[in-house]
């Protein structure tokens, strides 16, 4: 493929999603240095419950593990600054407030009771809540020039009782309802911190026409960040959307791609090529833009969960080759052999794909912090996803001699039972040996809660059925032995 022009001027932000698997602070410091070395210009940090909220907001802090302290949040910024990186905090203020609205004391602030993510925009206490969240976060980021207020995927907006009443007035629309809250939040930020830029996700704006956007109150107030993580991103439609924003007066714009966390909600191992393809599409968008559109930069998102209550996506070490490849793609317009060599040299790896890296040699941990974990996870997942293990319950022995019918009645051919037990114990020993190594590495980089969650998410679904078969065969054999003893005694 012919090289595209490199990404135009502007920041290249690495997104840190801390609502799952928050790195230990010393590991996070190392990662920041790696990001800078790979070509990043800044960090977009989404703290969620890892921020040390104080006062009435202390309830928002994580309980399964300790949130970062105020000193640690400041240290993140200090380390970033030492590497020439800007830090932009992200605070959700409308949608994706699951980590806030899950708390019983705040249930009344939901738009509808069964949607944990969307704030009721009519409740003054809800508006004050997000404004106080912003105040605490911004004040602990004294060197930041921008803040991101989220505002994406505001599900079920308009379906609450108060919103229905508001919308019942002729001429009022759902779009206006969305804009009222966002402009109010953004104006409050600018009034308190006049020199602070306000960024927001763009998806709730996409359906708005020129006149609605122009009269939205957002012009000169916010910088939309247009996100699309698809490897087959529609270039023509994306350019058209950016032109529509610019034509309505929203001329300062950001893009958002993905280097991990967007393939599938439960993806464990990052596919580098998929994310490189996404960045190649974004380069085509940038190359097709007319003059007058001011692209301020691109955020390379690395989602750790789809939302606060979903499972973990790929852990960061599994995605460092992808991140390096995506940044090189933006810097050089392609990922040709020379760009791939730069990725390999920067991380000390043999392949840009984490699944095909050769096992590491000693001494390159500083180039690729967390590499050992990445290798072990790839190795373990190959075992867990093997046909023999995943379909053990569909094997001939189980389906022929140890069906639910047999288990319920505790009957089994002892010869078959021995065969099943030997296989199950062999698989369990193999898995447990690898799991112990993975667990040790996760604990060195993440809190214990992450190790437990990762194991229960990826290992337990495979291991538990094997353990159950082992227990059931033993119980059946014991029952048959007991029956034989009873029959023998009855015959005396």
* N-to-C CA span, the chain: 86
> CA triplet 2, 342, 296: central angle to 5 degrees?
70
Residue 67 contacts by C-beta under 8 Å, 6 or more apart in sequence? Answer: 49, 50, 51, 52, 53, 61
Write the DSSP symbol of residue 440. H
**Backbone dihedral region of 248: left (phi > 0), alpha (psi from -120 to 50 degrees) or beta?**
alpha
Distance, in Å, from the CA atom of 119 to the CA atom of 121, rounded to the nearest integer, reads 6
Distance, in Å, from the CA atom of 267 to the CA atom of 318, rounded to the nearest integer, reads 11
Taking each helix axis from N to C terminus, what angle separates 337-347 and 316-332, rounded to the nearest 10 degrees? 140
Tokens of 394: 């569909």
Helical residues (DSSP H) of 22-123, grouped into ranges? 25-38, 70-82, 98-101
Write the DSSP symbol of residue 393. G
Based on the number of CB atoms within 10 Å of its own CB, is 55 exposed (0-12), middle (13-18) or buried (19 or more)? exposed
Q: Is 153 a catalytic residue?
A: yes
Helical residues (DSSP H) of 292-336, grouped into ranges? 316-332
Distance, in Å, from the CA atom of 430 to the CA atom of 380, rounded to the nearest integer, reads 9
Among residues 153, 159, 243, 379, which one is catalytic? 153
Dihedral of the alpha carbons of 486, 487, 491, 492, in degrees to the nearest 10: -30
User: In degrees rounded to 5, what are phi and psi of residue 447?
Assistant: -70, 160
Distance, in Å, from the CA atom of 129 to the CA atom of 56, rounded to the nearest integer, reads 9
Residue 288 contacts by C-beta under 8 Å, 6 or more apart in sequence? Answer: 235, 236, 239
Catalytic residues: 153
């Amino acid at each position: 493929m012919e090289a595209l022009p490199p990404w135009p001027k502007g920041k290249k932000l690495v997104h840190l999603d801390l609502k799952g698997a928050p790195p230990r602070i010393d590991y996070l410091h190392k990662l920041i240095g790696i990001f800078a070395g790979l070509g990043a210009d800044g960090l977009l940090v989404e703290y969620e419950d890892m921020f040390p909220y104080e006062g009435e907001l202390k309830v928002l802090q994580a309980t399964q593990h300790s949130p970062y302290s105020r000193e640690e949040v400041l240290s993140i910024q200090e380390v970033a600054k030492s590497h020439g990186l800007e830090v932009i905090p992200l605070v959700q203020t409308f949608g994706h407030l699951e980590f806030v609205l899950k708390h019983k004391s705040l249930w009344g602030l939901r738009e509808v009771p069964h949607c944990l993510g969307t704030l009721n925009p009519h409740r003054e206490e809800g508006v004050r809540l997000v404004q106080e969240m912003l105040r605490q976060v911004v004040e602990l980021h004294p060197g930041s020039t921008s803040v991101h207020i989220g505002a994406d995927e505001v599900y079920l907006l308009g379906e609450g009782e108060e919103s229905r009443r508001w919308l019942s007035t002729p001429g009022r629309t759902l779009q206006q309802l969305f804009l009222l809250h966002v402009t109010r939040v953004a104006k409050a930020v600018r009034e308190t911190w006049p020199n602070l830029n306000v960024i927001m996700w763009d998806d709730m704006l996409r359906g708005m026409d020129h006149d609605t956007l122009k009269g939205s109150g957002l012009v000169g107030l916010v910088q939309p960040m247009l996100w699309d993580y698809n490897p087959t991103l529609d270039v023509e439609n994306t350019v058209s959307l950016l032109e529509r924003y610019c034509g309505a007066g929203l001329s300062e714009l950001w893009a958002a791609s993905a280097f991990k966390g967007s393939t599938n909600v439960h993806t464990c191992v990052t596919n580098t090529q998929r994310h490189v393809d996404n960045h190649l599409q974004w380069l085509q968008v940038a190359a097709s833009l007319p003059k007058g559109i001011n692209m301020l930069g691109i955020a390379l998102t690395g989602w750790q969960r789809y939302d606060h209550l979903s499972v973990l996506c790929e852990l960061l070490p599994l995605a460092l080759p992808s991140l390096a490849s995506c940044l090189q793609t933006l810097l050089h317009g392609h990922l040709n052999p020379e760009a791939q060599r730069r990725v390999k040299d920067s991380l000390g790896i043999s392949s840009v794909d984490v699944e095909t890296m050769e096992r590491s040699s000693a001494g390159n941990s500083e180039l690729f912090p967390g590499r050992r974990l990445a290798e072990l996870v790839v190795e373990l997942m190959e075992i867990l996803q093997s046909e023999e293990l995943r379909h053990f319950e569909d094997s001939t022995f189980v389906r022929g001699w140890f069906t639910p019918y047999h288990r319920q009645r505790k009957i089994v051919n002892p010869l078959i039972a021995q065969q099943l037990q030997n296989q199950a114990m062999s698989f369990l020993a193999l898995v447990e040996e690898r799991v112990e190594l993975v667990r040790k590495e996760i604990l060195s980089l993440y809190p214990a809660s992450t190790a437990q969650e990762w194991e229960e998410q990826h290992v337990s679904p495979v291991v538990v059925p094997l353990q159950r078969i082992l227990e059931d065969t033993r119980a059946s054999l014991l029952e048959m032995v007991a029956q034989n003893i009873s029959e023998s005694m009855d015959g005396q």
